[in-house]
Structure 1
Amino acid sequence: MQNGLFDVEFRMDELSKNGDPLEKFNKYVPWEEFRSKLEVIRKKRNGNVGGRPPFDVVLMMKILVLQSIYNLSDDSTEYLIRDRLSFMRFLGLSLGDRVPDAKTIWLFREQMGNAGLVREMFDWFDGYWRKNGFMAKQGQIVDASIVSVPKQRNSRKENEAIKKDEPPVENWSDAKKRQKDTDARWVKKNGKNFYGYKNHIQVDVKHKFVRDYEVTDASVHDSNVFEAILDENNTSKDVYADSAYRSQEKEENLKKQGYRAHLQRKGYRNKALTEWEKRGNRTRSKVRSRIEHIFGIQSQRAGNLILRTIGMARAKVKIGLRNLGFNLERFCTLMVVSA
């Protein structure tokens, strides 16, 4: 059957009628506002150097946002940009336009990471939310989520050396070094072993934006990053967290800083929680559960949340983009509701 002249336009109209979630990103996110920040990663091109011009930096940034929201590999990202009309429309590409390949996407993400732009963009957007009426209000919630990476097949001696931050790299080939993540660590949670990193986030209660985050290896205890990501500019001094953050020392430190601690209590083998303590946990959980929604949304949208990167530096970039992607989507949702 012969294609009609306006077939693509008709298909786009149908996508819009069915609620294309990417349309609100172009409507509400000020992409051009940070072009100047992104341009710094472009090296000055010599006029005598041939070859195709580089892809637009805003286009590449939008591609990384797509990739982080849907947890796509570089190859899958390239394929889906070519395959999905909604992706092409979001990126402003037509069927005849060039599409960045997987290597170009990887390189741009590396350049952003090396320039520290992922964190800078995250902080810039947080300031943008605040200027547009979304101040951090009603307190803050802190929690951490394990982000797995492919398990390493090391010998016992190799694992012992890695734990001491002394990986036996002199005995590894160059190819093996590229495939070994010596920054990730094991952790046991709820009886299961996990290997990877942790995404520690702090969320404001009112608007549910990720206001700050920190990335560590998975073995770092949640409470070790607690105070470092608290927001002193939140309009409320209430702080919510689960029982992993509760200790007499933490509560005293929070009190000294002027915060009001709402930390879950935990029962022990010879000391069960009283009914009063259980009621207190249920009351706090109604607020604290808002942060669980964020991890749930990321898992539901992205499916298997395994990082396909090697090393802490790249993990920070990918996890930072994931947190930024959530905030962008949250901002658009709030703008739609308030419109």
Structure 2
Amino acid sequence: DSPHAPDGSILIEVADDREDLRTEEEQAQEQAYQYELKSRKPGVDTEARWVRKGRHYRYGYKKHVLTDGQGLVESVITTPANCADTVVLPELIEKAELTQGVSVLADKGYCGKKNSACLLERGLIDGIMLKAQKGMKLTERQRELNNAISKIRCLIERTFGSIRRWFSGGRCRYRGLERTHTQNILEAMAYNLKRMQASCAPEHQIAQESPLSEG
């Protein structure tokens, strides 16, 4: 969330959090709205955008994150808040430079032919949770698969929660996309360092208690 949000009621159609289904006319109205903010309200962060998440409206940016199986951040992309989650997955994977055979787990919001094709093209294992189609429910096997994926990928929620708790993340400290992205990178680096310090200590202790040679 940006502390430099515009005052007053929202006068445009706002994109949904997961997918932007607005018409070209509605998107053009948003561009005109942002231009007016830039010219008439200099205190507003005009690079941020509105997004609708459930029943709530948020103004700011969106942080897209890929982590490893322990929740350590491997790549970060920052976009205006109205950018749909699904379109950023290929760029996240490319930045992380994942090797072939690695499983990529994601919630059902990322389910789609383009993302699955992206994983297949890079030799990665598709671990995106399945989404029921219109008029077609998930089978029992598919629901079990979703549950198995969910138990692992929920670690990323701990990553977000820890960054908020430890470093007061989740709120922009600066104006503009580039500076907000820098904030996100620094928070991710600080999180990784803190987690790595904690995870290395027990291993070091075990090594001392377990001799490598016998007799």
Give the TM bin, normalised by the shorter chain. Answer: 0.7 to 0.9
Return the TM-score normalized by structure 1.
0.49
Q: How does 1:208-227 map to 2 (within 5 A)?
A: 208-227=71-90
Q: CA deviation at 1:305?
A: 2.8
Within-5 A mapping of 1:209-288: 209-230=72-93, 231-234=96-99, 236-268=101-133, 270-288=135-153
Alignment of 1:194 onto 2:58: yes
Contact 1:184 1:197 in 2 (8 A): yes
Structure 1 CA distance for aligned equivalents of residues 78 and 148 of structure 2: 29
- State the secondary structure of the residue aligned to 2:147: helix
Structure label with greater radius of gyration: 1
Q: Residue type of the partner of 1:332?
A: Q
SS at match of 2:154: helix
Task: Please state whether the residue corresponding to 1:226 is helix, strand or coil.
Answer: helix
Whether 1:149 aligns to 2:2 is yes
| Number of residue pairs aligned between Structure 1 and Structure 2 | 186
Q: CA deviation at 1:313?
A: 2.0
Deviations 1:173-217 (A, max 9, x none): xxx42x211111111223322221111111111x43211111001
Q: What letter is aligned with 1:238?
A: S
Runs of 5+ unmatched residues, structure 2: 15-27, 205-215
The CA RMSD measured in Å over matched residues stands at 2.6
Q: Contact between 1:161 and 1:168, CA under 8 Å: does it hold in 2?
A: no
Cα distance between partner residues in 2 of 1:237 and 1:166: 41
Specify the code of the residue in structure 2 equivalent to 1:149: S
Q: Distance in 2 between matches of 1:192 and 1:165?
A: 20
Residue identity (%): 25
Structure 1 residues 267 and 235 mapped into 2: Cα distance closer, same or farther (>3 Å)? Answer: closer
Paired residues for 1:48-63 under 5 Å:
none
Match of 2:35 in 1: 167
**Quick one: distance in 1 between partners of 2:142 and 2:49?**
34
TM-score (norm 2): 0.75
Q: Which has the higher helix share?
A: 1
Q: Note the C-alpha offset of 1:262.
A: 0.6
Q: Which runs of 5+ in 1 are unaligned?
A: 1-147
- Measured against aligned partners, the alpha-carbon deviations of 1:20-55 in whole angstroms (never above 9, x if no partner) come to xxxxxxxxxxxxxxxxxxxxxxxxxxxxxxxxxxxx
